Amino acid sequence: MDWERDDHTRTCVEVYYNDRGLEGDDSGQSAMPKDIYNAPYARKGGILRALGFEPGGSWLGKQYTRKNEPVYGFFDHIGNGTVPNTMISYYSSDVLWLKIASQVHDIEMIRYLRTAWDRWKGIPMENRCKFFRRENDGESDPAAVPALVPSNFAQRSEPGSKAGTDVHSQTNWYHTDDETPIFEGLLETLESDILVALKTHKSMLRWRDIKPQSRYFYSLVTHPGHHAGKSSIGGYCYVNIAALIAHLILHPNAYDAHIILHPNKYKKYEKVAILDVDYHCGNGTISIFWDRPDVFVASIHADPSGDYPWNSGFADQIGEGPGEGKTLNLPLTPGAGWAEYEKALRAALAAIKDFGAEAIVVSLGLDTHRDDPVQEKATAGMGLTSEDYFEMGKLLAGANLQLAFVQEGGYQVAVAGQLVAQVFRGVEAEFNRTLSRKRRLD
């Protein structure tokens, strides 16, 4: 079967990720500073396995290979943790794609991301301020360059403050916490994550006029992005992939000659929504689209009075200027379960429909699960079960809009893949029900 020429009568999720094999997970994780919660490389590997990827770089089911293109795996069955009709595509790049990110981020912050590690590594050890150093996750090597974290955080709103030119100064300026380090290999991972976003947006443009039940998309990036603001890095987030995809389907990639030369094949969207279902408010996404009228941002999250990010996500924060009313924050009460969550999700989807969105980019966080360790149970917390993720998928599909998922948080590495699979099972159940009904009517 050629997936580009099928009859569009079967639902399929296209999964895009940025490592051909899973062998690099350990080395990528070991380059990061130690963190008791955040293991993004391991999370990605666990999700891939739950979606049918076998260790050693093979996929369950038949493979389709094209010259100079990725390998595709297509599944026709449900197995233990396998989603039906899943196509997994690997992408990598030798091109510096971070320039693309400046379409939603401050260009100076992107320049910092591009250069920070090399500048830090190039400083003689005795000249690296000790308060900026963070031990890596792997075995301690006295000769290894420690990861770079801020020593303190700039008060940007105060007069007389600026980023400066030194890497120490800029690290304090752009980072909002010391849990989002700069480390060996980060730049290459971010480049590949951005390439995944570019592929997702291109596919969405290609499928613009085809019924949404046929295809939906999943950007399985390594690092989450929804806490990365216009000019800030934090909450384990560096580049806001969901924001980038939303922007690009409204303003297609000007660097892609194929899109430019074939405008009838790649059709842009007029309005798009971002729906953040991560446990934490998508404060970075909100900041990027705060005053824009063409992107509606809805975020369902723990009350920021009791959990991260603490200063964003309140119900009265609705955007301003041309973007006023285009931000919807839905903070939940401490310990909220599916009954309250479902009500908020239905409200968000209704608002998205009223806005006139033609597609939904879903910031898919898995830390809403009741056992996720990152939740502040004493002051916030949520109680979703694995069955609730299936229902979430059904509701998202019921909006009858083009769907694209972007991986955000989720700190139970062992079950992350099964939670993603549950969402996709719900999406496919609803989409297949709709397709079956349409076939009967036809």
Tell me which residues are annotated as active site. Answer: 227
Q: How far is Cα of residue 108 from the mean position of the Cα atoms in its chain? A: 22
Q: Is 23 helix (H, G, I), strand (E, B) or coil?
A: coil
Instruction: Tell me if 232 sits within 8 A of 284, measured CB to CB.
Output: yes
Question: Measured between alpha carbons, how far is residue 240 from residues 180, 227, 235, 269, 285 in Å?
Answer: 14, 7, 11, 19, 7
Q: Residues near 174 by Cβ (< 8 Å), separated by ≥ 6?
A: 109, 112, 163, 231, 232, 233
Euclidean distance between CA atoms 388 and 396, whole angstroms = 12
- 3 state SS of 348: helix
How many angstroms from the chain centroid is the CA of residue 12? 19
Question: Is the CB of residue 284 less than 8 Å from the CB of residue 223?
Answer: no
| Rounded-to-integer distance, Cα 239 and Cα 102, Å | 9
Find the angle CA(366)-CA(211)-CA(363) to the nearest 5 degrees: 20
Distance in angstroms (rounded) separating the CA atoms of residues 409 and 270: 28
